[in-house]
Amino acid sequence: MHPLTSKGPRPATVYRIEEPMLLPPPHLAPTSHLSPGMRRAPSCERTPWGWLRFSPAAPDGAPQHLLQIGIRTPDPSLRARCAQRWLTRRPPLRLYFDHGGSVTALTLMTALVALLGMSWAIDHGLPAVIGLPLAILLPLLVDHLPARLDTRARAYARIIDTGPGLDYLQRLTAQHARLVRAHSSRPGPELGCAAELGHRTLWEIAVIITAPDRSPDITCRWLALESLMDHLAREADDIKHQRALDGPAAADDDSPPAYRAPGHP
């Protein structure tokens, strides 16, 4: 069975990520009656491993649909964190014209400032052959720069927003959330390593999903990574269950149970 045939639960937050998806595929029907400039922007929830992007909140309080899952690289570098924040930024305010076309408010403001600055500079002796190209190029640069930064930032993340891949990755993020909950309720090096391994497994699976071609060896590795994530989630559940059986005495025990790697007793 291909891994993408599995469907997972709808994540609500990083700690409540196991609710079933009961609604049809994502759409923006609740806001379809609004003009383009008035439509609500999708909401984005950052997580330790990436982000979840949901459809805009409906006025009637209907549940939001998951539109996108982003997996950040496990490398805890400043560039990776900055890339995650850039890719999850709020969309810019965009102004739409009656006869088609649109422009961001920042580009329009930059054009006005550049025009005023050019007029002032020409009045103070700057040649027009220099001031006019600068006034034209500056708004174009402001409008073009975000797309270039998006391309650079995507090198530190893998984004999945298609139906089969999105449903499949939902289930894996739900399993990883169990690791995060177990590590939060009982911090320790073993559970910390398991959570880091879960993040790295999510990243490698996201790389495989977004790859254009898959060889048989890649498919075998994919299945092995999925098996590893299942094992990590079961380990987290076992630790949580054991802690519930131990009762209050487990809270005073500073030595967490040993983590068992796959294939080891």
pLDDT digits (tens, 9 = 90+) for 190-228: 778 888 899 999 999 999 988 887 778 888 888 999 999
Q: How confident is the model at residue 162 (pLDDT cuts 50, 70, 90)?
A: confident
Task: Describe the chain by its helix, strand, coil percentages, rounded to 5.
Answer: 55, 10, 35
What is the DSSP code string of 178-226? HHHHHHHHS--HHHHHHHHHHHHHHHHHHHHHH-S---HHHHHHHHHHH
Q: Which residues neighbour 218 within 8 Å (Cβ) at sequence distance 6 or greater?
A: 208, 211
Task: For the chain, state the CA radius of gyration.
Answer: 24
What's the confidence (pLDDT) of residue 69? 92
Task: Return the percentage of the chain with pLDDT > 70, whole number.
Answer: 75
Q: Which of 33-42, 113-122, 241-250 has the lowest mean pLDDT?
A: 33-42
Give 94's DSSP letter: E
* Res 134 pLDDT > 90: no
What's the confidence (pLDDT) of residue 11? 42
Is the sign of the CA dihedral 83, 84, 85, 88 positive or negative?
A: positive
Instruction: Between 66 and 244, name the one with better pLDDT.
Output: 66
Q: How confident is the model at residue 248 (pLDDT cuts 50, 70, 90)?
A: low
Q: What is the pLDDT of residues 107-117, one digit of tens each?
A: 888 888 888 88
What's the confidence (pLDDT) of residue 92? 76
**Contacts made by residues 26-35, CB under 8 angstroms, sequence distance 24+:** 26/55, 26/65, 26/66, 26/67, 27/55, 27/65, 28/55, 28/56, 30/56, 30/58, 30/59, 30/60, 30/62, 31/56, 31/58, 35/96
If you average pLDDT over residues 150-174, what whole number do you get? 89
What's the confidence (pLDDT) of residue 113? 87
Q: How confident is the model at residue 158 (pLDDT cuts 50, 70, 90)?
A: very high
Q: Which of 73-82, 201-210, 216-225, 234-243 has the lowest mean pLDDT?
A: 234-243
Give 103's DSSP letter: E
